[in-house]
Amino acid sequence: MKDFDIDSLVRPNILALSPYSTARDECDKTLGIFLDANESPWPSGWNRYPDPHQKVLKSRISEVKGVPAANIFVGNGSDEAIDVLMRVFCEPGRDNIVAICPSYGMYTVAAQINNVEVREVDLDEEFGLRADAMLEACDSNTKQMLVCSPNNPSGNAFSTSELLGLAARFNGLLVVDEAYTDFSDEPSLRWEACTAPNIVVLQTLSKAWGMAALRLGLCFATERVIGLMSSVKYPYNINAAAQKLALEQLERDITGEVSEIRSERVRLAGILPEFGFVRRVYRSDANFILVKVDDPDGLYAHLLEDGIIVRNRNKVRGCAGCLRITVGLKAENEKLIESLERYEKGRIC
């Protein structure tokens, strides 16, 4: 691992920050008479402020993910983690980030909100990473590279060796968004992120864990990076209801659900190419499949008529002709296939 001073990448105002300390930071008592935070004394069940450090939740996530709690940041969705990373490392109006294209739109939105330039580097024809082109796009103000793996919307995962090779050649932070890692055979980089100074891994409880409504994003990084992110986040970023309900959900065993989605993905990927209007079914390591078809807008409208909503990616650079279809329950996927059969018949007549 290279000698790397992460603090040299951090905005000076963030390095100088003395974070807001909450009333309860000074004592960690859970029993007593709390007259410190101007809360209501009437027990509604929700009258006390939540734990700003999410200690109990983080210790459960630590067990589930096999990563020390000190290497975990919990955000109000991955969106918050992406925004906090932007605010820790990127000086508005000066710094830039490098992102792949096509990929998740939130990186660009977060950068634009923070007045940070985005340098997009196209993936190759097969949605492969062009590491040399990404490094060539960098200058001395490039603070982060954002790589989504498995990538949304293409669905493919990049190899560990490619990603580690990229991090080794980059003098900034490599952020790997593993939102779909549970559906992939490619191993997670979250353990590397705990020790490698310039690798950060994002995950989420929104997808395989089925908690999209609770808004919980995870970030794995060195203790130093986690500390910086924690000093920038809102103190009570994860509300008490989300912490409580997530703890309950994290007791579930999701392996059956994940393996059924994976087998449905394989089944769909086998059936889709049989339709005459399907030009290409891209390899997926996620819970969705990108499909290139003859008339994406027409097919999209047809599915919508049947009450089936997919994501039209036709207008996205690199995705011309493509729809992105989430793998649903077996019965839902059957309805999709029936609708596609009706569409094919209608085109032949």
Ligand X SMILES: *Cc1c(COP(=O)(O)O)cnc(C)c1O
- In this chain, which of 110, 131, 147, 148 binds ligand X, going by CB under 6 A? 148
Structure tokens at 99: 């992102």
Beta carbon nearer to ligand X, 67 or 219? 219
Q: How far is the CB of 263 from ligand X (least distance, A)?
A: 21
* Residue 212 found at the interface with ligand X (CB under 6 A): yes
Q: How far is the CB of 182 from ligand X (least distance, A)?
A: 12
DSSP 8-state class, residue 86: H
Q: How far, in Å, CA of 317 to CA of 103, rounded?
A: 10
Compute how many residues bind ligand X; rule: CB under 6 A: 13
User: How far is residue 247 from each of residues 61, 113, 149, 242, measured CA to CA in Å?
Assistant: 9, 32, 26, 8
Beta carbon nearer to ligand X, 179 or 242? 179
Site string (63-92) toward ligand X, x via CB under 6 A: --------------xxx-------------
- In this chain, which of 49, 73, 104, 170 binds ligand X, going by CB under 6 A? 104
Mark out the alpha helices in 66-170 (DSSP H runs): 78-89, 106-113, 131-136, 160-169
Beta carbon nearer to ligand X, 166 or 208? 208
Q: Say which residues have a Cβ less than 8 Å from residue 194's Cβ, sequence separation at least 6.
A: 67, 68, 71, 220, 221, 222
Q: How far is the CB of 286 from ligand X (least distance, A)?
A: 8
- In this chain, which of 144, 184, 198, 206 binds ligand X, going by CB under 6 A? 206
Beta carbon nearer to ligand X, 86 or 278? 86
Are the C-beta atoms of residues 62 and 218 closer than 8 Å to each other? no
* Residue 284 found at the interface with ligand X (CB under 6 A): no
Structure tokens at 142: 């490039």
CA 315 to chain centre: 22
Beta carbon nearer to ligand X, 207 or 233? 207
Q: Taking contact as CB under 6 A, which single stretch among the options 122-130, 202-210, 258-266, 294-302 is the one that binds ligand X?
A: 202-210
Q: How far, in Å, CA of 21 to CA of 327, rounded?
A: 44
Across 208-226, b (16+ Cβ under 10 Å) vs e yields bbebeebbbbbbbbbeebb
* Residue 177 found at the interface with ligand X (CB under 6 A): yes
By CB under 6 A, name the binding residues for ligand X: 77-79, 104, 148, 152, 177, 179, 204, 206-207, 212, 217
